[in-house]
Amino acid sequence: MRALYQFPMSVFSRRTRLALAHKGLDAELYDCRADEKPLAEARKLSPQGTMPVLVDEGRVLGDSTAIAHYLDAAYPERPALFPKKANDAHRALTIVGLVDNAMNGLVDLGTRYYVLRGDAAWDGVLRERLGRAQGSIDTVAKLATSPTLAGDAWSVADIWAFSAALWIAAFPSRASSSPAVAQMLTLGFRLPESLVAWAKQHESRPEVRAIYG
């Protein structure tokens, strides 16, 4: 049995669903926003306390990037998430690291650390952490010069960049219903237009349409 405990609108959960779709792997989805029972179960399963959490044949793994590595190792006969050639693998890992830095920084500042915004140190923390997040996403945009970012095939680099672009682009429409999104909007993070344009060419992919509608 394979199951994914997730927050459906989360960038981390959606990119994991895209990774599973790329590998052609089904999973039973548990919405941990809508129901406290699967949320409690996921927190028992994974000590990280974050979403998503994958359960596959009794093996439990949290963290979307770790899950992607696991899927390639566990199902090597299926389409690869991480390219095999050294140059393509280097580029993919570079982009994954940049996207992770941008998304983690934005989420932390807009949720966990947001309560500290009245502190005298807040401006310095915001400037430093947001600067690193912005620099990371800007670099990803500069690398998005071809339809696929790491080699000739859709890979983890494309999945991570695509999901980040769509997640951030949706902030204005979600702010009224999500306090966390509304808080992140106040930080001054900018989504590069070139990354938005790059992402549009992948919106018709079957797995993308299945997950994003």
For 127-149, what is the mean pLDDT?
Answer: 97
Contact 194, 141 (CB under 8 A): yes
pLDDT of residue 185: 97
Question: Dihedral of the CA atoms 53, 210, 207, 21 (nearest 10)?
Answer: 30
CATH code assigned at 114: 1.20.1050
User: pLDDT tens digits for 141-177?
Assistant: 999 999 999 999 999 999 999 999 999 999 999 999 9
| Per-residue confidence (pLDDT) for residue 184, from 0 to 100 | 97
How high does pLDDT run on average in the chain?
A: 96
pLDDT above 80: residue 136:
yes
At 110, list the tokens.
């807009």
Q: For residue 117, with 0-12 CB atoms within 10 Å meaning exposed, 13-18 middle and 19 or more buried, which class applies?
A: middle
- 130-146: b (≥16 Cβ within 10 Å) or e: beebbebbbbbbebbee
Question: Is there a single domain that holds both residue 95 and residue 136?
Answer: yes
- Please write the tens of the pLDDT for every residue from 21-48: 999 999 999 999 998 999 999 999 999 8
pLDDT for 213: 80
Sheet holding 53-56, edge to edge: 28-31, 2-6, 53-56, 59-62
For residues 109-116, give the mean pLDDT: 95
Place of tokens 């044949």: 57
At 71 the pLDDT is 98
Same domain, 40 and 145: no
Point out the domain boundary residue: 74, 95, 126. 74
Q: Could you give the number of structural domains in the chain?
A: 2
| pLDDT tens, residue by residue, 47-95 | 988 999 999 999 999 999 999 999 999 999 999 999 999 999 999 999 9
pLDDT of residue 166: 97
Task: Determine, yes or no, domain membership for 68.
Answer: yes
Query: Considering the domain boundaries, does residue 24 fall inside one?
Result: yes
Tell me the residue range of the domain where 148 lies.
86-205
The answer on 25 and 120 residing in a single domain is no
Are residues 93 and 7 part of one domain?
A: no
Closest CA to 54 of 76, 74, 35: 74
Question: 55 and 93, same structural domain?
Answer: no
Q: Give the model's confidence band at 1: pLDDT under 50 very low, under 70 low, under 90 confident, else very high.
A: confident
